[in-house]
Amino acid sequence: MSKPVRVRFAPSPTGPLHIGGVRTALFNYLFAKKHNGVFYLRVEDTDQTRFVPGAEAYIMEALDWLGIAPDETVGKNEKFGPYRQSDRKEIYKQYADELIASGWAYYAFDSAEKLDELRKTAEAKGQTFIYNHSVRDTLDNSLTVSREEAAQRIANGEAYVVRFKTPVNETLYLHDIIRGDIKFETNLLDDKVLFKGDGMPTYHLANIVDDHLMKTSHVIRGEEWLPSMPLHVLLYKAFGWEAPEFAHLPLILKPIGNGKLSKRDGDKMGFPVFPLEWKTEESTSMGYRENGFFPEAVVNFLALLGWNDGTEQEIFSLEELVQKFDLARVNKSGAKFDPEKNKWFNHQYLQKQSDTSLATAFEKVLADKGISTTLDVTRIVSLNKERANFVNDLWDLTDYFFVAPTNYDEKALKNWKEDTSGLMQQLIAVLEGISDFTSSNIETVVKEWLTVNEIGMGKVMQPFRLSLVGKMMGPHLFDIVEIIGKQETIQRIQKAINTI
Ligand code: GLU
């Protein structure tokens, strides 16, 4: 690679960051780190009508949480700053002027009403009105009025925009790292607005100017921007600048059915599509963080939405992803979003956590439930985590350790036969006699008692479990017995005898 790698994530702060945006940020991050380059974040807020307060802070917080914070951004290493386009407002006009001077752009005065009328007339004839080479010479712009007149009208304060003068009858030969060679006819393009009379550039102009000034080597972004690539390449040509390389990432598709995963799908189908929770006055959208996902798990499953390393490997640390990431292995076709698989990833990362750190997290859950305990939470976590996807799941899996069962599973009750209460009473006596109250010793003593007295295992073990747990689940029974202790065990058996 010739140029030093500098890539950017350029979100518009119009709301919370959708998971597709996070994936774009991640792929940029991975690419930058892989090539010892720079990953920067530029806030594209030129469209003031779509500005949403809090969105920018949300984006920064989300990337921080995921561990993929940019090297340069607003307030951080502003080497080519400012990094917020609204703070760069003064920069763009000269570039619009430059394109006017070189004949690559023109002023257009057509009013919104006039354009609307043209649109409607075309529609009535079953056609679409496009402001392009075929009509621009008939409209109200500096191609049809003299330069002096145009200058005078602007001086008089008349509303105008600057439009790109798309070349006619040219074939563009474009290259995308993921999609390969793309041929495009310029006649299909409209003359996009680059600059507005209110002094603000549009996305297209600001994006190109900034990518150039901020020395962007590669533009890695979502597929929805592919249609803008011809215009962007033409803009680089118009300015006489070397264009960056382009890579358009595949869409993220709905889990079922067709089409792009939308911001609404998550809340509709009960899974998060945002990294962090997002609250507005009307509604709250779920976030991965608040739903108990580990950031490493989110990064891992996002990395596999459209990329793989060519092997069956699915679990990758961030460092490994950096090492292995390759744009050449990114798919062209859309990647289905699978919320069940996301849970699976979280499950895997939960198993990797140390028992002590899981216990610390679980103690918070217990405290929220008003439970203070002297039990060995670390051991409880260690015995039960295998079945948990989230720290919160641990509560459902282990609540009986902390709170004695108050009712018993209907189906399991059939194991409580006529002679069960008597056997349970004998069991109490056996337990009372054990002084080394450890799991393996209790097991040895109880089994010896069963063997000597020729009592079937199931006859005792099932009601025993039912007494302690309330249902037929949980880890090795004698581990439970040791953890809750002799006194509590006996109390629970007694209670079962009395109630069942
Ligand atoms: N501001 C655009 C967005 O919201 C950036 C597109 C690009 O990366 O060029 O996605």
Q: 162 pairs with which residues across the strands?
A: 107, 195
CB 278 within 8 A of CB 285: yes
Q: Please tell me whether the overall predicted TM-score, pTM, comes out greater than 0.85 for this model.
A: yes
* Cα gap 18→423, rounded to integer Å: 59
Look at the chain and count its residues.
500
- Residue 235 DSSP SS3: helix
**Taking a C-beta distance cutoff of 8 angstroms, is the pair 177, 246 a contact?**
yes
**In 250-344, beta strands by DSSP E:** 252-253, 278-279, 284-285, 335-336
Q: Whose CA is nearest to atom 3 of ligand 1?
A: 11
What domains sit in the chain, N to C, each tagged with a CATH number? 88-249 (3.90.800.10), 354-400 (1.10.8), 411-499 (1.10.10.350)
Categorize the per-residue pLDDT at 263 as very low, low, confident or very high, splitting at 50, 70 and 90: confident
Q: What is the pLDDT of residue 3?
A: 85
According to DSSP H, which parts of 385-485 are helical? 393-402, 420-432, 439-452, 457-469, 477-484
The widest CA-to-CA distance across the chain, in whole angstroms, is 113
Q: How much is the pLDDT for 415?
A: 85
Q: Is the CB of 221 under 6 A from ligand 1?
A: yes
Residue 347, pLDDT score: 98
Catalytic residue among 254, 263, 336, 495: 263
Q: So what's the pLDDT on residue 379?
A: 98
384 Cα to the center of ligand 1, angstroms? 45
List, in order, residues 6 or more apart from 76 with CB less than 8 Å away. 70
Residue whose CA is at the smallest distance from ligand 1 atom 5: 10
- Give pLDDT tens digits for 270-321: 899 999 999 999 999 999 999 999 999 999 999 999 999 999 999 999 999 9
What residue numbers does the annotated binding site for ATP cover? 263
Comparing CA positions, the residue from 5, 76, 86, 16 lying closest to residue 41 is 76
List all residues 6 or more positions away from 276 whose beta carbon is below 8 Å from its beta carbon. Answer: 16, 58, 61, 62, 65, 287, 288, 289, 290
Residue 263 is a catalytic residue: yes
The tokens of 214 are what? 């901020």
Counting Cβ atoms within 10 Å, is residue 162 exposed (0-12), middle (13-18) or buried (19+)?
buried
- What ligand 1 atom has the least distance to the C-alpha of 9? 8
Residues belonging to the binding site are: 263
Number of the ligand 1 atom closest to the C-alpha atom of 14: 4
